[in-house]
Amino acid sequence: MNPADLSEPFDDLLYERDGHIARITLNRPDRGNALTGDMQARARAIWDEVRDDPEIRVAIVTATGERHFSTGADVNAVATNGRVSAGDGPMTDEVFWSPHQNRVWKPVITAVNGLVNGGGLHLVVDSDIVVASTNASFMDTHVNVGMVGAIENIGLTKRLPMGTALRMTLQGKNFRLSAERAYQLGLVDELVAPEDLLSTAEQIAADIVKNSPHAVSLSKQALWSAQEMGYKHAMEYGWALLRMHWAHPDFAEGPKAFAERREPKWTT
């Protein structure tokens, strides 16, 4: 079985589509939804499809069960293999868990159903909107098992105060961020009861689907790129993106549909 072939079944990482919405589900509840190398190959293939299929406008990432979203890398597999990734090349050649790592500029909503640890944080810090159930929590145990907390942890510094990101990174298993505190600090965007988790994520996705896919994609690029630029540079880049959109059919269709009091017909 080739996990990168989406036509083949792969139980550990499920992929399905419902109209314009893709859903990706970590599905190893008996192993805390821990991540494996085969799952990364599958994730890369899924993100390639999400990125390249014009019919897909939004993706939702979640996990099976209520106890764990993901406990991170399968440490037993690391102990056996002696490594986390297949090689030791540049990150762009080795790490493909998250939408950003796969150059996906479509909106991604992560629905956190339980504990997130270590590598599971890839799918939180690189998400556009994080919805969490009240029983969710967040921690990082890289240093507890002799690993460096770096890639996901750097992402934490974009969403949390530096002190909290450092506590998670350096205290390891002895510091756990509750869902409520994560919501207060901005790591979580919407906090809901466990039974409302998926319906909330799906409603947000449905709202986004109604908007111009091209405008949504460029808007996402503008905001994420601003995280890596100075204010003046980011404003100039945003100006270039919005001018680029002026030539797109959706730029004319949106105001026309509004004036005619009808739903717009977007170009995919």
Q: Evaluate whether 50 touches 106 at the Cβ level (below 8 Å).
A: yes
Distance CA 219, CA 222 (A): 5
Q: Where are the alpha helices (DSSP H) in 157-196?
A: 162-171, 179-185
Domain that holds residue 119: 13-209
In this predicted structure, what is the pLDDT of residue 88?
A: 84
Q: What pLDDT score does 4 carry?
A: 81
pLDDT tier for residue 82 given thresholds of 50, 70 and 90: low
pLDDT given for residue 86 in this prediction: 65
**Residue 100: inside a domain:** yes
User: Are residues 220 and 111 located together in one domain of the fold?
Assistant: no
Stated pTM of the model: 0.95
- Residues in a beta bridge with 191: 132
Query: So what's the pLDDT on residue 172?
Result: 96
- Average pLDDT estimate for 2-24: 92
> To the nearest whole number, what is the mean pLDDT of the chain?
95
115 and 186 in a single domain? The answer is yes
pLDDT digits (tens, 9 = 90+) for 55-73: 999 999 999 999 999 999 9
Q: Are residues 63 and 189 in the same domain?
A: yes
Region 97-117: mean pLDDT is: 97
Q: Is residue 265 part of a domain?
A: no
How much of the chain, in percent, has pLDDT values that exceed 90?
89
pLDDT at 26 (0 to 100): 98
Residues 193 and 235 in one domain: no
Tokens standing for residue 174: 């002895």
Query: Are both 243 and 177 inside the same structural domain?
Result: no
Residues 108-137 have a mean pLDDT of 98
User: Phi/psi at 267 (nearest 5 deg)?
Assistant: -90, 125
In a domain, 126, yes or no: yes
Residue type, 122: H
Structural contact between residues 42 and 3, judged by C-beta atoms closer than 8 angstroms: yes
Q: Is residue 66 included in any domain, yes or no?
A: yes
Give residue 115's pLDDT: 98
Q: Residue 191 is part of a domain; what is its CATH number?
A: 3.90.226.10
Q: Does any domain span residue 133? A: yes
